[in-house]
Every structure is written in structure tokens, then in C-alpha cells.
Amino acid sequence: MAAEVILRALRLSVVLLAVCVSLSSNREEGDVGSLVVTILSQADGYHSARAREKKENWLEKLSILDQQIQAVLLAHELPVRVTWTVVPLLPHLAEHYPEASWFFFANEETVVDFELLRTALKRFDDTKVWFLGHGLQDQKRTIIHHYMYHTGTESISYPNFASGWLLSGPALKRAAENVALFAPDFNIDPPFELALFLKYMRTLDVQETIAIPPIGDSGGYLLTHVPQLCMEPALTQGCATAYSHHIPSCGDVEVSKLFIGVKTCEKYHSTRLPVVQGTWARDAEGSVAYYSEVEDKQFLTTDIGVPNTESGHCGKMMAIIERFQAIPELRGREWLVIADDDTLLSVPRLRRLLACYSSHQPILLGEVYGYHAVRPSGYSYVTGGGGMVLSRRAVEMITESGVMCPQDNTPDDMFLGRVAVGLGIHIVHSPLFHQAQPDTFHPSILALQTPVSFHRHRPVDPYTVYQDYLNQSSMAGTDTGSAEDSSSKRGSKQPQTPGNKPGKTEL
């Protein structure tokens, strides 16, 4: 058996050499040309370890296919700022891999059958412009897509990143030439913003926000839906890719190691706090505090000593961070979660998720947005409504730095992001945190994940949202990651970073 495998590998590597040699001049029929693979990885210890594991796994798989590979790249290792917005990666790829036929992008959770992927690609001429992916379209206007494209007007198809997506060489080149035009005020949802950019790039103005798309000939190109790039939890028949976003099995952080500070104000004590106290806070007894501008015995609020502001709550947020560091009773807590009084959480899931990370590493975790992110003065931040999680180390660095809010009403989440970027704290994105209510996200995306948070008590009933999306130990879903991993993990090392325990996806 083993000898057979070795023989097969040898035979294939001979074929591979032959293909490499013949490729530049005269490509064989049925060949899909050379491939550059980019994993949209993150730099913190846990995610970089997972991405490295994925890379090794893919290199192994690709080595037994007679497929020319130019590189398998980890985005966070490339000399590019804000890689999560993706567009800034394109010039780097165009410069270093000018001969590549296809650029394949995927996430660390993506499971790939490269043989099937290659078969799917044979239908497309790589000397032409192609943008391929699992196409999604909004059914209605949504805040996360800048309220664009509602029913009755043109809608745009965007790729589900975790299903994997591709640009042909000419498509990547054209996009890279126009990259200076990608400068939205806010980066919220990279797949949508990428699709928008590729469609409109020729006519975008640097100064213009993407919320006002130009009309007329766009000079760009649209996504082509490829059914083999699946939104399925496992590589079922016909799927070249699969994925799911569930809580990894890293363990469980004790609730006594966690501290959740809820920002509230007197105006909302009687309407919002009963919802919090009647739902998720039940799972956080002894680990949640309500910070207001007044003490209110009925709703258990603490006066944090900062006057209320109508918008932006920087003063209140910084007071919570300082308190977490200063108060002796909180010294044993490893994680600080800052939530709004209309944030809905799942505390059991949060505890399991946080077990993947080390509180000794500087981490700011949640749903990542960007403000002018691709401009030199811009930054990424964790959007506050979905909950902002700070490791103890991050809190230490922030308090030691002595930073102060410009004003009490400075937007808290954006200020925290800017400070965190400046201090070198990892801004870690998790798709399980949600800045808005469930119906603002594509239902197919939600169907494949175990959410940790949602935001807002209106227009939806918060009890219903809690019951339907958060009050379960786990959402339906199958363990896909390990289906791939189990075949390749044999002999592969577990990453050794302390505190990082990359695990299988939980059932």
C-alpha cells in the first residue's frame, strides 16, 4: 500500500515537472494553467496557526495533483496593510505572479477538493477576465451593504468568501491597476465591497464613497456563480469546496474569568436592561455589570462617573477599561467584554470561543470594520454593537499607554480600534459576532454558523432573536473541517504557541 502511494507520488511529480516545462510555451489541452492560492489569514496566534495548518494540508494535497502551483500564501504574511479588505492584496499578487492563470482565495475554514476545483475551472478561458465564486444576492436593502440595491433596482452578486473565490490572471491585473480607486470611507463587508469595486472600478472617484455608485458603463466586471463552490458543511457530491463557521473545540473559559461591562444610560434602564437580565445575562451571573451615569438599585446599575452622551460613548468605555484594570476584585479576570445595552450574546458560546485565544496576547476581538482602512491615516476596529472583547494583555497595554478620549462622546469603538492599531494589539475578526439583527445578514451565511452575538432590540423582538439564534448550546451543522483534516493530519504537528489550541469544529 505504502509503496503504491510512493510510486504514484513519484509518477505524478514527473508529470508535474513535464507540465511545468511545457506550460509557458504550449499548454496541454484540459490544463487549467498555474494557480496562486491565498488564504485570507489573520496574524494573531490562534488564527495564524490554523492558517499555517491549512496551508500545509493544501500543499500536501496539491503535491499529488499534476497541477502547477506558483504559491500557497498566507495573507497576513504579505507586506500589505489591512489584508482583510482584500483589494489591497491585488497589486502585490499582480506584481509577484504576473504569469499565473488563476488566483484562488479562501479562508482558513475552507475545505477544498482541488481536483474538482480544477475540473470546474476547465470551463473558463483564463486568458479572459473572470471573477468566480458562490454568488449571493441581497433580498432587501441592508445596513451592512450601505443600504444599496433594494428590491426593484439592480442588485449585485457578491461571493461568499468561505466557499472560495477566484480571479483569472487578466481579471486580477485589471483590478490591480485600479486599486488606487478603492478607498471607501467605511469597510464593512469585504465580499460585497470587492464585488462593487470590480464592477465600478473604472468610474469610481478616489474621493467618492462607494455608497454612491456611478451610473452607466462601469468598465468593470461581474461575478459569475460557480455551483461547485458550495455553501455546504461538507464536500458532498459535486462540491469542490465546503466550510462551516461553528465554535471550535478549544475548551471552555470559566465564567469567573470573564467580565462583561454593559454600557447603558438612565433612559434605557427600564426598557433594555430587563431584556438583558431576562436572557443572556442569566448565564453570566457574577460576571456582568451595568454601567450608567446613575446608580439604580432596581436594575443593578453602577454609576461609572461619566456623564451620559447622546452618541459616541468613549468616556464611558474608557472608564470601564480602566476599572477592569484598577479594581482588585477583577484582577483574576482574563477577558473584558464591552457590550451595548441592546447587544444580545450567548455567554456559553463566547466562553468556548475565547478558549481558543490566549489572554496573554494583546487581542481585540469581534466583528471587524474599517474606517478609511486602506488610506494611510485609516484603521480597523471592532464594531461595538456586536460586542468588543479585550484580552487582559490588551487592557494592560491600553491603560499603560495613558490614552484618553478626545471627548466623552467620541465614537467608542472607532477610538478603541485606532488606539489598538497604534499599540500593536491584534484586531481579530470573528464572523460569529454581528453588529446588527439577523435579517441584515444573508440567511445562507447564518445557516452555516453558530452565532455569538447580535445587536439591537428593534425592529425585531429581542426575545425572539435570542431564542431563535442564541439560546441553544449549538446550532445545527456538521463537522466539516475535520473531514479534511483527518485525512491529512496524520503526522502533522500541532502548533506550539502557548495558549493556542487549534481544534476541530464542534458538532
Ligand X SMILES: *[C@@H]1O[C@H](CO)[C@@H](O)[C@H](O)[C@H]1NC(C)=O
Instruction: Report the interface residues with ligand X, using CB under 6 A.
Output: 278-279, 466-467, 471
Shortest separation between residue 280's beta carbon and ligand X, angstroms: 8
What is the distance between the alpha carbons of residues 437 and 358, in angstroms, rounded to a whole number? 29
**Torsion region of 300: left, alpha or beta (phi above 0 gives left; psi -120 to 50 gives alpha):** left
Longest Cα–Cα distance of the chain, Å, equals: 79
- 312 Rama sector, left if φ>0, alpha if ψ -120 to 50, beta otherwise: left
Give CB contacts under 8 A, 24+ apart, made by 401-408: 403/318, 404/318, 405/314, 405/315, 405/317, 405/318, 406/314, 407/312, 407/314, 407/315, 408/306, 408/307, 408/309, 408/312, 408/313, 408/314, 408/315, 408/316
* Coarse DSSP helix, strand, coil percentages of the chain, rounded to the nearest 5 percent: 35, 15, 45
Burial classification of residue 463, based on how many CB atoms lie within 10 Å of its CB (0-12 exposed, 13-18 middle, 19 or more buried): middle
- Which residue, 187 or 346, has its beta carbon nearer to ligand X? 346
Interacting residues of 75 by C-beta distance below 8 A, sequence separation 6+: 38, 39, 40, 41, 83, 84, 89
**In the complex, what is the shortest distance from the CB of residue 214 to ligand X, in angstroms, rounded to a whole number?**
47
- Residue with Cβ nearer ligand X (279 or 480): 279
Residue type, 161: F
Distance in Å, CB of 467 to ligand X, minimum? 4
Shortest Å distance, C-beta 470 to ligand X: 9
Shortest Å distance, C-beta 278 to ligand X: 6
3-state secondary structure 390-443: EEHHHHHHHHHHCCCCCCCCCCHHHHHHHHHHHHCCEEEECCCCCCCCHHHCCH
Bridge-based pairing state of the strands 368-371 and 379-382: antiparallel
Q: Which residue number is nearest to ligand X in terms of Cβ?
A: 471
In the complex with ligand X, the residue whose CB is nearer, 60 or 461, is 461
Nearer to ligand X, 300 or 403 (CB): 300
User: Nearest distance from residue 336's CB to ligand X, in Å?
Assistant: 24
What distance in Å separates the CA atoms of residue 471 and residue 452, rounded to the nearest whole number? 10
**How near is the Cβ of 472 to ligand X at its closest, in Å?**
8
Residue 348, preceding peptide bond in cis (omega within 30° of 0): no
Nearer to ligand X, 149 or 466 (CB): 466
> Judged by CB, which is closer to ligand X: 255, or 336?
255
Our CB check for ligand X shows the closer of 117 and 262 to be 262
- DSSP one-letter code for 248: B
Least distance (Å) between residue 461 CB and ligand X: 11
Minimum distance between the CB of residue 277 and ligand X, rounded to whole angstroms? Answer: 10
Residue 347 or 363 having the CB closest to ligand X: 347
* Cβ nearer to ligand X, comparing 279 with 361: 279
